[in-house]
Amino acid sequence: MSTVTNIDTSTEQAAGQLSPEFIAEREAFFVRQEAPVWGACGDDRPATEPSVAALAAAAPEATPANEAYASVFGGAAGMAKNIMLAGIVTHGPQFVAEIGGFEGAYETVVQKLLADKSDQAVYPLLHSAAGNENEDGSFCAHGSAAIGCAYCGGVGATSALLTDEASSLIRDVARDDQVSIFGDDQHVDDLLAAHTVFLESATSGQGKDFVMDRPAYTAQVEKGRPVMILAGTHASAKGTGVISNFEIGTVGSAGRAGEAGKDFYRLDVAQVTAALLRNLPELELDPEVLMRAFVLDATPVRAVLAAHDADPELHGNLDPRKLGNGFRGDARAAIATLRSAA
Protein backbone atom coordinates (compact mmCIF):
# COMPACT_ATOMS: atom_id res chain seq x y z
CA MET A 1 0.00 0.00 0.00
CA SER A 2 1.35 3.39 -0.99
CA THR A 3 1.71 6.11 1.62
CA VAL A 4 -0.41 9.18 1.01
CA THR A 5 1.42 12.29 2.18
CA ASN A 6 -0.63 15.44 1.98
CA ILE A 7 -1.36 18.21 4.44
CA ASP A 8 -2.38 17.20 7.97
CA THR A 9 -6.05 16.25 8.23
CA SER A 10 -6.25 17.95 11.63
CA THR A 11 -5.70 21.38 10.08
CA GLU A 12 -7.90 23.40 7.78
CA GLN A 13 -7.25 22.75 4.09
CA ALA A 14 -5.29 25.49 2.37
CA ALA A 15 -6.90 27.06 -0.68
CA GLY A 16 -6.33 24.88 -3.72
CA GLN A 17 -5.13 21.84 -1.76
CA LEU A 18 -6.86 18.51 -2.33
CA SER A 19 -8.06 16.71 0.77
CA PRO A 20 -6.41 13.46 1.86
CA GLU A 21 -9.80 11.81 1.33
CA PHE A 22 -9.87 12.85 -2.34
CA ILE A 23 -6.44 11.35 -2.90
CA ALA A 24 -7.17 8.18 -0.93
CA GLU A 25 -10.28 7.55 -3.06
CA ARG A 26 -8.01 7.48 -6.13
CA GLU A 27 -5.27 5.19 -4.80
CA ALA A 28 -6.76 2.27 -6.74
CA PHE A 29 -6.07 4.10 -10.00
CA PHE A 30 -2.28 4.00 -9.63
CA VAL A 31 -0.79 0.72 -10.83
CA ARG A 32 2.62 -0.92 -10.77
CA GLN A 33 4.49 -0.60 -14.07
CA GLU A 34 5.55 -4.07 -15.20
CA ALA A 35 5.98 -3.37 -18.93
CA PRO A 36 6.70 -0.33 -21.11
CA VAL A 37 4.02 2.36 -20.92
CA TRP A 38 3.10 5.31 -23.07
CA GLY A 39 4.10 8.72 -21.74
CA ALA A 40 1.34 11.21 -22.45
CA CYS A 41 -0.34 14.24 -20.92
CA GLY A 42 -1.68 14.40 -17.38
CA ASP A 43 -5.21 14.75 -18.74
CA ASP A 44 -8.33 13.56 -16.92
CA ARG A 45 -9.89 12.09 -20.09
CA PRO A 46 -9.29 8.48 -21.21
CA ALA A 47 -8.02 7.46 -24.64
CA THR A 48 -10.61 6.58 -27.29
CA GLU A 49 -11.02 2.94 -28.30
CA PRO A 50 -9.57 3.52 -31.80
CA SER A 51 -6.59 5.30 -30.23
CA VAL A 52 -6.00 2.45 -27.76
CA ALA A 53 -6.03 0.01 -30.68
CA ALA A 54 -3.68 2.14 -32.80
CA LEU A 55 -1.20 2.50 -29.95
CA ALA A 56 -1.31 -1.25 -29.27
CA ALA A 57 -0.49 -1.91 -32.91
CA ALA A 58 2.39 0.58 -32.80
CA ALA A 59 3.95 -0.98 -29.67
CA PRO A 60 2.34 -4.32 -28.70
CA GLU A 61 4.81 -4.74 -25.84
CA ALA A 62 3.46 -1.63 -24.09
CA THR A 63 0.69 -1.63 -21.50
CA PRO A 64 -2.61 -0.78 -23.23
CA ALA A 65 -3.34 2.94 -22.87
CA ASN A 66 -6.79 2.28 -21.37
CA GLU A 67 -5.13 0.38 -18.50
CA ALA A 68 -2.37 2.84 -17.59
CA TYR A 69 0.14 5.31 -18.96
CA ALA A 70 2.71 7.69 -17.48
CA SER A 71 1.63 11.32 -17.37
CA VAL A 72 3.09 14.81 -17.17
CA PHE A 73 1.40 17.90 -18.57
CA GLY A 74 2.17 18.11 -22.29
CA GLY A 75 3.45 14.54 -22.60
CA ALA A 76 6.48 14.59 -24.89
CA ALA A 77 6.35 18.39 -25.16
CA GLY A 78 6.32 18.77 -21.37
CA MET A 79 9.23 16.36 -21.02
CA ALA A 80 11.27 18.33 -23.55
CA LYS A 81 10.48 21.72 -22.01
CA ASN A 82 11.31 20.62 -18.48
CA ILE A 83 14.53 18.89 -19.55
CA MET A 84 15.51 22.28 -20.96
CA LEU A 85 14.55 24.13 -17.78
CA ALA A 86 16.49 21.70 -15.58
CA GLY A 87 19.44 21.89 -17.97
CA ILE A 88 19.46 25.70 -17.86
CA VAL A 89 19.48 25.65 -14.05
CA THR A 90 22.27 23.05 -13.92
CA HIS A 91 24.50 24.12 -16.80
CA GLY A 92 23.55 27.72 -17.57
CA PRO A 93 21.81 29.51 -20.49
CA GLN A 94 24.20 27.92 -22.98
CA PHE A 95 22.35 24.64 -22.49
CA VAL A 96 19.67 25.91 -24.88
CA ALA A 97 22.12 26.08 -27.79
CA GLU A 98 23.91 22.89 -26.75
CA ILE A 99 20.73 20.81 -26.96
CA GLY A 100 19.45 22.56 -30.09
CA GLY A 101 16.62 24.65 -28.67
CA PHE A 102 13.17 23.26 -28.04
CA GLU A 103 13.15 21.18 -31.23
CA GLY A 104 16.49 19.65 -30.34
CA ALA A 105 15.38 18.87 -26.81
CA TYR A 106 12.16 17.35 -28.13
CA GLU A 107 13.92 15.08 -30.60
CA THR A 108 16.54 14.08 -28.03
CA VAL A 109 13.91 13.10 -25.48
CA VAL A 110 11.69 11.23 -27.93
CA GLN A 111 14.47 9.32 -29.66
CA LYS A 112 16.19 8.27 -26.44
CA LEU A 113 13.01 7.20 -24.65
CA LEU A 114 11.63 5.30 -27.64
CA ALA A 115 14.89 3.31 -27.78
CA ASP A 116 14.51 2.14 -24.16
CA LYS A 117 14.05 -1.66 -24.14
CA SER A 118 13.43 -2.08 -20.40
CA ASP A 119 10.17 -2.92 -18.64
CA GLN A 120 10.33 0.56 -17.12
CA ALA A 121 10.36 2.30 -20.51
CA VAL A 122 8.16 5.35 -21.07
CA TYR A 123 7.32 5.98 -24.75
CA PRO A 124 6.57 9.72 -25.12
CA LEU A 125 3.46 10.89 -26.97
CA LEU A 126 1.54 13.99 -27.93
CA HIS A 127 -2.25 14.04 -27.53
CA SER A 128 -5.33 15.74 -28.89
CA ALA A 129 -9.08 15.53 -28.27
CA ALA A 130 -11.55 13.49 -30.32
CA GLY A 131 -13.70 16.56 -31.06
CA ASN A 132 -10.76 18.24 -32.79
CA GLU A 133 -9.87 15.29 -35.03
CA ASN A 134 -11.26 13.06 -37.80
CA GLU A 135 -14.69 11.44 -37.42
CA ASP A 136 -13.09 7.98 -37.41
CA GLY A 137 -11.04 8.95 -34.34
CA SER A 138 -7.72 9.38 -36.14
CA PHE A 139 -5.50 12.44 -36.10
CA CYS A 140 -6.42 15.06 -38.71
CA ALA A 141 -3.07 15.95 -40.22
CA HIS A 142 -4.19 18.95 -42.26
CA GLY A 143 -7.27 20.24 -40.46
CA SER A 144 -7.99 23.75 -39.23
CA ALA A 145 -9.12 22.92 -35.69
CA ALA A 146 -6.84 23.74 -32.79
CA ILE A 147 -4.92 20.91 -31.16
CA GLY A 148 -6.89 19.48 -28.23
CA CYS A 149 -4.06 19.87 -25.70
CA ALA A 150 -4.00 22.97 -23.52
CA TYR A 151 -0.30 22.52 -22.78
CA CYS A 152 0.82 22.29 -26.41
CA GLY A 153 -1.45 25.22 -27.24
CA GLY A 154 0.42 27.29 -24.67
CA VAL A 155 3.99 26.03 -24.32
CA GLY A 156 5.25 29.60 -24.17
CA ALA A 157 2.17 31.12 -22.55
CA THR A 158 2.44 28.98 -19.43
CA SER A 159 6.06 30.07 -18.94
CA ALA A 160 4.98 33.69 -19.37
CA LEU A 161 2.33 33.20 -16.68
CA LEU A 162 5.12 32.28 -14.27
CA THR A 163 7.41 35.15 -15.21
CA ASP A 164 5.20 38.13 -16.07
CA GLU A 165 5.05 40.89 -13.47
CA ALA A 166 1.25 40.70 -13.45
CA SER A 167 1.26 36.98 -12.50
CA SER A 168 2.26 37.28 -8.84
CA LEU A 169 -0.65 35.08 -7.72
CA ILE A 170 0.49 32.20 -9.94
CA ARG A 171 4.09 32.57 -8.72
CA ASP A 172 2.95 32.64 -5.10
CA VAL A 173 0.84 29.51 -5.54
CA ALA A 174 3.71 27.82 -7.39
CA ARG A 175 6.04 28.54 -4.49
CA ASP A 176 3.47 27.23 -2.00
CA ASP A 177 3.12 24.05 -4.11
CA GLN A 178 6.88 23.50 -3.87
CA VAL A 179 6.87 23.89 -0.10
CA SER A 180 3.91 21.54 0.38
CA ILE A 181 5.52 18.84 -1.78
CA PHE A 182 9.27 19.20 -1.20
CA GLY A 183 9.31 20.92 2.20
CA ASP A 184 10.95 24.14 0.94
CA ASP A 185 11.19 26.39 -2.10
CA GLN A 186 14.79 25.64 -3.04
CA HIS A 187 15.56 26.11 -6.77
CA VAL A 188 12.29 28.00 -7.38
CA ASP A 189 14.02 31.29 -8.23
CA ASP A 190 16.51 29.47 -10.45
CA LEU A 191 13.68 27.72 -12.30
CA LEU A 192 11.74 30.96 -12.74
CA ALA A 193 14.87 32.49 -14.27
CA ALA A 194 15.16 29.42 -16.52
CA HIS A 195 11.62 30.03 -17.81
CA THR A 196 12.72 33.52 -18.82
CA VAL A 197 15.73 32.09 -20.65
CA PHE A 198 13.46 29.54 -22.32
CA LEU A 199 11.12 32.27 -23.58
CA GLU A 200 13.99 34.43 -24.83
CA SER A 201 16.26 31.76 -26.33
CA ALA A 202 14.34 28.55 -27.10
CA THR A 203 11.16 29.68 -28.84
CA SER A 204 12.52 30.97 -32.17
CA GLY A 205 11.69 34.50 -31.05
CA GLN A 206 8.00 33.72 -30.44
CA GLY A 207 8.20 33.98 -26.65
CA LYS A 208 4.80 33.57 -25.01
CA ASP A 209 3.22 32.82 -28.41
CA PHE A 210 5.29 29.67 -28.90
CA VAL A 211 3.10 26.57 -29.38
CA MET A 212 3.14 23.05 -30.73
CA ASP A 213 0.40 23.39 -33.32
CA ARG A 214 -1.14 21.09 -35.92
CA PRO A 215 1.74 21.40 -38.41
CA ALA A 216 4.18 20.49 -35.61
CA TYR A 217 2.04 17.48 -34.71
CA THR A 218 1.78 16.51 -38.38
CA ALA A 219 5.57 16.57 -38.68
CA GLN A 220 5.70 14.03 -35.84
CA VAL A 221 3.03 11.83 -37.42
CA GLU A 222 4.97 11.86 -40.69
CA LYS A 223 7.93 10.45 -38.74
CA GLY A 224 5.74 7.54 -37.71
CA ARG A 225 5.04 8.73 -34.19
CA PRO A 226 1.51 8.15 -32.92
CA VAL A 227 -0.76 10.71 -31.29
CA MET A 228 -3.06 9.70 -28.43
CA ILE A 229 -6.65 10.85 -28.99
CA LEU A 230 -8.70 11.46 -25.84
CA ALA A 231 -12.45 11.05 -25.41
CA GLY A 232 -15.14 13.07 -23.69
CA THR A 233 -14.87 16.36 -21.85
CA HIS A 234 -12.93 17.58 -18.83
CA ALA A 235 -14.44 17.03 -15.40
CA SER A 236 -15.59 20.11 -13.51
CA ALA A 237 -12.63 21.83 -11.87
CA LYS A 238 -14.64 22.05 -8.65
CA GLY A 239 -14.96 18.28 -8.47
CA THR A 240 -11.53 17.16 -9.54
CA GLY A 241 -7.85 18.08 -9.14
CA VAL A 242 -4.24 17.29 -9.97
CA ILE A 243 -2.40 14.50 -8.13
CA SER A 244 1.40 14.37 -8.52
CA ASN A 245 2.69 10.84 -8.06
CA PHE A 246 6.10 10.46 -6.39
CA GLU A 247 6.08 6.68 -6.03
CA ILE A 248 8.74 5.31 -8.37
CA GLY A 249 7.49 2.34 -10.38
CA THR A 250 3.81 3.32 -10.52
CA VAL A 251 1.73 5.22 -13.06
CA GLY A 252 -1.87 6.39 -13.18
CA SER A 253 -4.85 5.01 -15.06
CA ALA A 254 -7.26 7.48 -16.66
CA GLY A 255 -9.29 4.57 -18.04
CA ARG A 256 -9.95 2.97 -14.66
CA ALA A 257 -10.62 6.32 -13.00
CA GLY A 258 -13.12 7.26 -15.71
CA GLU A 259 -14.96 3.95 -15.43
CA ALA A 260 -15.35 4.56 -11.69
CA GLY A 261 -16.48 8.15 -12.15
CA LYS A 262 -13.38 9.45 -10.30
CA ASP A 263 -11.72 11.47 -13.06
CA PHE A 264 -8.63 13.47 -12.09
CA TYR A 265 -5.46 14.91 -13.62
CA ARG A 266 -2.32 12.83 -13.00
CA LEU A 267 1.36 13.75 -13.07
CA ASP A 268 3.63 10.70 -12.70
CA VAL A 269 6.56 12.93 -11.81
CA ALA A 270 8.85 10.30 -10.25
CA GLN A 271 8.44 7.65 -12.95
CA VAL A 272 8.88 10.08 -15.84
CA THR A 273 11.91 11.63 -14.13
CA ALA A 274 13.39 8.15 -13.63
CA ALA A 275 12.96 7.31 -17.32
CA LEU A 276 14.49 10.60 -18.47
CA LEU A 277 17.53 10.35 -16.19
CA ARG A 278 18.12 6.70 -17.07
CA ASN A 279 18.07 7.39 -20.80
CA LEU A 280 19.81 10.79 -20.79
CA PRO A 281 22.73 10.38 -18.35
CA GLU A 282 24.94 12.59 -20.52
CA LEU A 283 22.86 15.62 -19.50
CA GLU A 284 23.99 15.17 -15.87
CA LEU A 285 20.73 16.42 -14.38
CA ASP A 286 19.74 16.23 -10.74
CA PRO A 287 16.41 14.46 -10.05
CA GLU A 288 15.36 17.13 -7.58
CA VAL A 289 15.75 19.96 -10.08
CA LEU A 290 13.88 18.03 -12.77
CA MET A 291 11.03 17.01 -10.43
CA ARG A 292 10.71 20.57 -9.18
CA ALA A 293 10.64 21.78 -12.78
CA PHE A 294 7.66 19.54 -13.57
CA VAL A 295 5.80 20.66 -10.44
CA LEU A 296 6.50 24.36 -11.07
CA ASP A 297 5.47 24.09 -14.72
CA ALA A 298 2.18 22.48 -13.66
CA THR A 299 0.98 25.46 -11.62
CA PRO A 300 0.22 27.82 -14.54
CA VAL A 301 -1.30 24.86 -16.43
CA ARG A 302 -3.75 24.41 -13.54
CA ALA A 303 -4.65 28.10 -13.90
CA VAL A 304 -5.29 27.69 -17.64
CA LEU A 305 -7.39 24.55 -17.18
CA ALA A 306 -9.50 26.20 -14.49
CA ALA A 307 -9.96 29.32 -16.63
CA HIS A 308 -11.38 27.18 -19.45
CA ASP A 309 -13.82 25.36 -17.18
CA ALA A 310 -17.48 25.27 -18.24
CA ASP A 311 -18.47 26.78 -14.90
CA PRO A 312 -19.13 30.51 -15.58
CA GLU A 313 -17.73 31.35 -12.13
CA LEU A 314 -14.34 29.97 -13.19
CA HIS A 315 -14.25 30.85 -16.87
CA GLY A 316 -11.49 33.34 -17.60
CA ASN A 317 -10.21 33.34 -14.03
CA LEU A 318 -6.49 32.51 -14.10
CA ASP A 319 -6.27 31.18 -10.55
CA PRO A 320 -4.50 27.80 -10.11
CA ARG A 321 -6.21 27.32 -6.76
CA LYS A 322 -9.47 26.74 -8.63
CA LEU A 323 -8.10 23.34 -9.70
CA GLY A 324 -6.94 21.62 -6.52
CA ASN A 325 -3.44 20.23 -6.08
CA GLY A 326 -2.22 17.22 -4.12
CA PHE A 327 0.32 14.43 -4.17
CA ARG A 328 0.99 10.85 -3.18
CA GLY A 329 4.27 9.23 -2.20
CA ASP A 330 7.34 10.94 -0.78
CA ALA A 331 9.18 13.33 -3.08
CA ARG A 332 12.30 13.42 -0.89
CA ALA A 333 12.51 9.62 -0.80
CA ALA A 334 12.15 9.47 -4.59
CA ILE A 335 14.95 12.02 -5.00
CA ALA A 336 17.24 10.01 -2.73
CA THR A 337 16.49 6.78 -4.60
CA LEU A 338 17.18 8.31 -8.00
CA ARG A 339 20.38 9.96 -6.82
CA SER A 340 21.65 6.65 -5.47
CA ALA A 341 20.87 4.96 -8.80
CA ALA A 342 22.85 7.52 -10.81
Closest CA to 289 of 156, 219, 188, 160: 188
pLDDT at residue 14 in the model: 56
Contacts of 294 (CB under 8 A, 6+ apart): 72, 73, 78, 82, 244, 267, 269, 272, 273
Q: What is the pLDDT along the chain (342 residues), one digit of tens a residue?
A: 222 233 233 233 457 999 999 999 999 999 999 999 999 999 999 999 999 999 999 999 999 999 999 999 999 999 999 999 999 999 999 999 999 999 999 999 999 999 999 999 999 999 999 999 999 999 999 999 999 999 999 999 999 999 998 889 999 999 999 999 999 999 999 999 999 999 999 999 999 999 999 999 999 999 999 999 999 889 999 899 999 999 999 999 999 999 999 999 999 999 999 999 999 999 999 999 999 999 999 999 999 999 998 888 888 889 999 999 999 999 999 999 999 997
- Distance from C-alpha of 320 to C-alpha of 309, rounded to nearest angstrom: 12
Per-residue model confidence (pLDDT) at position 13: 40
* 245-254 CB burial, b ≥16 within 10 A, e <16: bbbbebbbbb
CA distances from 137 to 48, 49, 282, 306 (A): 7, 9, 39, 26
Instruction: Enter the pTM of the model.
Output: 0.94
Model pLDDT, residue 302:
96
Encode the chain in three state secondary structure. CCCCCCCCCCCCCCCCECCHHHHHCCHHHEEECCCCEEEECCCCCCECHHHHHHHHHHCCCCCCCCCCCEECCCCHHHHHHHHHHHHHHHHCCCHHHHHCHHHHHHHHHHHHHHCCCCCCCEEECEEEEHHHCCCCCCCCCCCCCCCCCCCHHHHHHHHHHHHCCCCHHHHHHHHHHHHHHHCCCCCHHHHHHHHHHHHHHCCCCCHHHCCCCHHHHHHHHHCCCCEEEECCCCCCHHHCEEEEECCCCEEECHHHHHHCCCCCEEECHHHHHHHHHHHCHHHCCCHHHHHHHHHHHHHHHHHHHHHCCCCCCCCCCCCHHHCEEEEECCHHHHHHHHHHHC
| Cβ within 8 Å of residue 154, ≥6 positions away | 211, 304
